């Protein structure tokens, strides 16, 4: 289109193509969900998203691997105009290569279901990344548009295998209440790594050569597949259905609304079976990640010096509203971990909720 009608026409066509998307979003009627907790503020929602990602090992794994792969593979997009110009100085040459990349991506998408039926997510992603890296290393050695188009098509198929599975995975790893925010963080990592990588490989191409820049980045892309040995992608997702099973305390009338806006201390007293105290503490350390992920900004487990089998879990939450949200954020996937804790406990734990006693609010 650029070669036939010019750059401005291509941009106008792109703008028009978004009108349909805008229309669909404008007419979309989001289902109303009943919530017992007050709505979050922008700052609070942002903090909650960062806290959730920081305490979710599976999501962190996806983000780290995505960032590293995109940093290296961004050279393909950053330097493709220079590569296209070296084999064909016409604008249509670059457009043809982009078209081949898109065609390869369509082919990769058609293969997706067949591959997923036979191989794990981690294996497909790793294979796609290795193929993509190999294609990037091969590109600077090609000097004919036809052979370059073929390699670009292969890289498009490898790219879509990686990016589509990663996109789906990061969405499936987050529950409904935080999914959009996790996607925003994923996009930030995606775009940030892409921008940083593009600038880095462009700088190397400027000071050394396009060929060396592509070779370095291609080896880096293929080499990033080794991350599968130390940071495997989860092959299946947990049940993230809400599981709000905690008892809601009855608030006495003497507690004012001003006090409810202050910090909340939650204590849970456990009577632990004597022979299983070590296992109990180990299970609690694992469960601490769930507490922090869903709202606690400080957590600890303590042992009573007067009663040998009494352990007290304490955690702090910023406000009563945030603690109500903490109730709603529990998922059925947490049930197994909670049951592991309760297997070492005799009797029902005793829960207490305490508000910060600010004399100016009493």
Give the pLDDT confidence of 166-179 residue by residue, as tens digits.
Answer: 999 999 999 989 99
- Find out whether 164 and 116 touch, Cβ atoms under 8 Å: no
DSSP secondary structure letter of residue 228: G
Where do you find CATH 1.20.1250.20 in the chain?
2-21+41-229
The answer, yes or no, to whether residue 131 has pLDDT greater than 60, is yes
Distance (Å, rounded) from C-alpha 146 to C-alpha 341? 62
pLDDT in tens, 200-236: 999 999 999 999 999 999 999 999 999 888 888 887 6
Angle of helix 121-138 relative to helix 75-87, nearest 10 degrees, comes to 30
Closest CA to 290 of 251, 249, 339, 250: 339
Fold of domain 2-21+41-229: Growth Hormone; Chain: A; (1.20.1250)
CATH of domain 257-355: 3.30.70.100
> Helices 145-172 & 176-207, crossing angle to 10 degrees?
150
- Phi, psi (rounded to 5 degrees) for 269: -100, 125
In the chain, residues under CATH classification 3.30.70.100 are: 257-355
For the segment 261-287, what is each residue's pLDDT rounded down to a tens digit? 788 999 999 999 989 999 999 999 999
Which tokens in the block code for residue 117?
């039926």
Are 308 and 274 contacting, i.e. CB atoms less than 8 angstroms apart? yes
Nearest to 212 by CA among 224, 223, 196, 200: 200
Average pLDDT over residues 342-349: 92
Q: What percent of the chain has pLDDT over 90?
A: 56
Can you say whether residue 136 is alpha, beta or left, with left for phi > 0 and alpha for psi between -120 and 50 degrees? Answer: alpha
Mean pLDDT rounded to a whole number for the chain: 88
Contact 305, 257 (CB under 8 A): no
Angle CA 66–167–84, to nearest 5:
65
């Amino acid at each position: 289109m650029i070669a036939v009608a010019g750059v401005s026409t291509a941009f106008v066509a792109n703008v028009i193509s978004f009108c349909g998307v805008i229309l669909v979003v404008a007419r979309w009627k989001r289902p109303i969900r009943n919530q017992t907790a007050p709505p979050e503020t922008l700052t609070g929602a942002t903090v909650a998203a960062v806290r959730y990602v920081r305490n979710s090992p599976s999501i962190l794994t996806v983000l780290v691997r995505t960032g590293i792969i995109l940093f290296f593979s961004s050279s393909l997009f950053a330097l493709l105009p220079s590569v296209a110009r070296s084999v064909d100085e016409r604008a249509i040459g670059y457009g043809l290569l982009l078209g081949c990349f898109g065609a390869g991506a369509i082919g990769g998408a058609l293969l997706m279901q067949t591959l997923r039926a036979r191989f794990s997510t981690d294996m497909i992603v790793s294979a796609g990344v290795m193929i993509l890296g190999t294609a990037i290393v091969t590109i600077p050695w090609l000097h004919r548009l036809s052979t370059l188009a073929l390699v670009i098509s292969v890289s498009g198929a490898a790219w879509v295998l990686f990016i589509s599975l990663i996109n789906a995975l990061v969405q499936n790893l987050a529950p409904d209440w935080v999914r959009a925010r996790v996607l925003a963080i994923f996009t930030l990592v995606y775009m940030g790594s892409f921008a940083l990588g593009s600038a880095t490989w462009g700088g190397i191409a400027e000071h050394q050569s396009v060929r060396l820049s592509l070779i370095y980045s291609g080896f880096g892309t293929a080499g990033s597949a080794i991350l599968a040995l130390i940071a495997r992608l989860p092959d299946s997702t947990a049940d993230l259905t809400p599981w709000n099973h905690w008892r809601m305390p009855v608030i006495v009338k003497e507690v004012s609304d001003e006090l409810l806006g202050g910090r909340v201390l939650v204590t849970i007293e456990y009577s632990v079976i004597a022979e299983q105290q070590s296992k109990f503490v180990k299970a609690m350390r694992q469960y601490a990640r769930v507490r922090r992920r869903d709202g606690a900004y400080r957590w600890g487990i303590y042992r009573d010096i007067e009663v040998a089998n009494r352990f007290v879990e304490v955690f702090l939450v910023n406000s009563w509203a945030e603690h109500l949200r903490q109730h709603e954020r529990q998922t059925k996937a947490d049930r197994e971990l909670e049951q592991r804790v309760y297997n070492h406990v005799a009797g029902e734990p005793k829960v207490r909720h305490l508000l910060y006693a600010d004399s100016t609010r009493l």
